[in-house]
Structure 1
């Protein structure tokens, strides 16, 4: 997988900035001494810039750049405005301004004293993401994977429908430390041409400790982004499951339910979606047991690795983006990775339904009627409304097996939510005001847009079926709401539940504050915060 850039924290005192190659970024606030270690020519240039209108127009968290600065070996000097007292989002934005320009260079960040260095480091790491595994590399670069065939599964990994065979002998074994952040007493300058970051500060040991959870979070976000960015000829249902099985090494319990087991359980709604594909349908269960005997939080993700629409086939234009229709499952996987890496004191189970929706002689047809694991019959009006069929069975299974404290599901479920909210907010639907409030609070704290949408019995009229208990779509009116009403049928009475429709935020059309163009990993930070604030023991 793609890993965040390595970040070292070193003492600012005595650093020879003149000799540092690559890029240098200075965190500057409105009042304060000029950084030490700059040669006279650089200081004069810096004083001139700070007195200019161009610098006055730079907003907090943004930057101004000088190319080939006088007196420095560095190729660029980046001046980042960051007030001494600021919020987490502005600090992350400041880090992102550095990460966006980083490329493959060595970067030195000069920040002698700032209380938000952990947020600066997180923003830098997140914005520095670069999914370039399929771009041609120089001859000396590492060999790239064969894109004509799915990647081979990890050695020693096998599939099993039995939970006992999938569990680790010691789930409490220490996880590897996130590779993104380290504290080092050595003050050697980073080497040019190698993507690395050194943050020079007053107390590097304390700064590194404060940034460790951010390193775990960045790893989880990167894992989600990689999954969403992967092409469907590589990220098949089997390859997806193998990547999740490999997270056993982090201390997660992971098991895979195959089609025979899913049929035995009665998951006919899920199996119907994938029956036209050569890629076998699967459900993967990931468990993190860090919270004693408490009932777990259940996270459920839609994992349609490619969605043609099935027999109700989509238009050709833009269909290539349907590699992202497993975005909900990708977020669940990224959250579980983060929780394991930071050793969260909570019980969380992540379940993902992995299918591929293809047109074929065996494919599900409009007008078919399937029976869900719950026992409800569903008339399939449109085979392109398939994600809710997958979620219906996995939601019921999660409640039936784990009796969770609450359920949160995520899915790139409807285009209608994009019409309603654009690419700025995900849609939140919930039967529980407390859980909804916690999610909204967590999203605000992490700077991820989330907006609550209505649920009401009146919308059930739109999905009444003449022939079955319910139909899988009510047409265009209130499309995202009727999809949520459909899912609510598969939530038991009294179970706190929230549905996050992330169709507009998983793969927006352009870059965002913390991500280049492509997959954002939206939701990993919000759900990690939800776990920390509501479900984690102190």
Structure 2
């Protein structure tokens, strides 16, 4: 895949902006005298920029917001977009400004007059992320996004800064594509094939099919998928960009391509959104793509468990007991608490095979985390304060909301079963915490680990600054890419 819009960087040239068609966007400080290219463009537009900046509409804008002037006199453009962005803007404000341009982008493209702004590369990232639109299955006329020319005082420097960001953007959009796909297209087989195709980027990719999973003893994972026609799989993606003998960091993702709830059937209302229940696996895939594209100097292994949870005659029942790869037995209280069964086996396999330096798993695991944190923050659980602090710092730097929730023996005690080593569900109270406590039982004491519950952030309920309406967010790709750089590079 590639970015949804072609972005190139060129030297600042006011004359080019004045003659450009389509949309011209100009970065402007909140107030002050116009200078440089902005002043020249304003003169050509007969003072339209200066007048707009004196108005109430401009005063109400926040950093990163934009104001449109249609068919500006003296310019060839159909719209002049005034983007408020202070010289000392934050990363988030610069990306928001780029998103304002990306949202309005049409077939004729845009010319962006950035001048010497220090955050131009971040602006280009925001533009690429917001220009994304998943319209693959719309049969009507589709308008392709036109190219974007960004005019900057030091275009080579900005292009060098933007290169790694473009790799990350491609990872985010790969994740969005996966999460947005319908389940009749993104089967476990199709998902695995898309990951196998990333071998061309330099990843080593292995696909473990059901006979091999049975041989490994992954009965917890296999039990979830036994009611589906789609075969269960585990895909292992290795990026070996670091030192040869250095242990990799492991990223593990839940990949339930569709979740009916199984025999513990979900209500019909809202079930169509369960195409996003593979969001954790989607994020892991996007991170691995980003690392490969930017040639990251680290060793990382991504593992995803791909299953479909269906209510077939062969499906797992409430009351069944399954044996995990670790050897622990699990009483299945609720077949809709299936993600933790998938992760239990993949987490154990990751540790047994790779002995990772640390491990993070992601999953759209519980509705309870949405009750606790809404759609603003992912829930984070950890057995290691240092790793958790680094993760939260990376999330904050990337503007992706995350909040740590507790683990404790009191919650762990609730998992007791009268017929097996543990049960997979304890009901509604503290549901996201007890799910995390379940996963912790499959994490070795010596492995630094975080569990991230992304149920509330994978598919936001409302439009976000960098994400269009009713669209997968790709949450976590930017955070984990930064974390791998912070910890390993």
1:218 to 147, 159, 169: 169
Partner of 1:372: 324
- Indicate the residue corresponding to 1:399 in structure 2: 351
Alpha-carbon distance change, 421 to 52 in structure 1, aligned in 2, over 3 angstroms: same
The match for 2:182 among 203, 228, 231 is 231
Mapping for residues 72-471 of structure 1, pairs under 5 Å: 72-138=75-141, 194-292=145-243, 293-471=245-423
Q: Which residue of 2 aligns with 1:3?
A: 3
2:368 and 2:96 map into 1 onto residues whose CA distance is 30
Q: Which moved more, 1:97-106 or 1:358-367?
A: 97-106
Deviates more, 1:488-497 or 1:329-338: 488-497
CA contact (8 A) 1:463 1:473 kept: yes
User: Displacement of 1:37 after TM fit?
Assistant: 4.7
TM-score normalized by structure 2?
0.97
Secondary structure of 1:321's aligned partner: helix
Aligned to 1:157: none
d(CA) in 2 for partners of 1:205 and 1:281?
Answer: 47
Q: In structure 2, what is the equivalent of residue 17 of structure 1?
A: 17
Alpha-carbon deviation of 1:457?
0.5
Query: Does residue 504 of the first structure (1) align with residue 456 of the second (2)?
Result: yes
| Stretches of structure 2 lacking an aligned partner (at least 5 in a row) | none
1:202–1:393: structure 2 CA closer, same or farther, 3 Å change rule? Answer: same
Q: Provide the residue aligned with 2:35 in structure 1.
A: 33
In structure 2, the partner of 1:51 is 54
Q: What's the CA shift for 1:194?
A: 4.8
Q: 1:251-289 deviations in whole A, cap 9, x for unaligned?
A: 000010000000000000000000000000000000000
Cα distance in 2 for residues equivalent to 1:126 and 1:281: 32
Helix, strand or coil at the partner of 2:166: helix
The corresponding residue for 1:167 is none
Question: Residues 196-242 of structure 1: CA distance to partner in whole angstroms, max 9, x if unpaired?
Answer: 11101111111111100110000000000000000000000000000
Please tell me whether the aligned partners of residues 42 and 71 of structure 1 are also in contact (alpha carbons under 8 angstroms): yes
Answer whether contact 1:2 1:131 (CA < 8 A) is retained. no
State how far apart, in whole Å, the 2-side matches of 1:49 and 1:507 are.
37
**Alignment: residue pair count:** 484
Classify the secondary structure of the residue corresponding to 1:300.
strand
Check 1:66–1:276 CA distance in 2 against 1; reply closer, same or farther (3 A cut): same
Q: Give 3-state SS (helix, strand or coil) of 1:410's partner.
A: strand
Task: Give 1:334 shift.
Answer: 0.1
CA contact (8 A) 1:105 1:193 kept: no
Query: 1:450 Cα shift?
Result: 0.3
Query: 1:129-169, CA deviations, whole angstroms, 9 ceiling, x for partnerless residues?
Result: 1111111144xx7xxxxxxxxxxxxxxxxxxxxxxxxxxxx
Match of 1:516 in 2: 468
Say which SS state the counterpart of residue 256 (structure 2) adopts.
Answer: strand
**Do 2:42 and 2:50's aligned partners in 1 also have CA atoms closer than 8 Å?**
no
Identify the range of structure 1 (21-30 vs 239-248) with the bigger mean alpha-carbon deviation. Answer: 21-30
Give the unaligned 5+ runs of structure 1.
142-191
- What are the Cα deviations for residues 12-68 of structure 1, in whole angstroms up to 9, with x where unaligned? 136332321111110001334151552745141112111112212211111111111
Deviations 1:58-84 (A, max 9, x none): 111111111111122211111001011
Deviates more, 1:272-281 or 1:22-31: 22-31
Corresponding position of 1:150? none
Distance in 2 (CA, whole Å) between partners of 1:28 and 1:326 is 41
For residues 419 and 219 of structure 2, the distance between their equivalents in structure 1, rounded to whole angstroms, comes to 17
1:220 and 1:337 in contact (8 A); partners too: yes
Point out the structure with the larger helix share. 2
Q: Tell me the C-alpha RMSD between the 2 structures.
A: 1.3
> Are 2:17 and 2:113, in contact at CA under 8 Å, matched by a contact in 1?
no
Give the corresponding residue for 2:426. 474
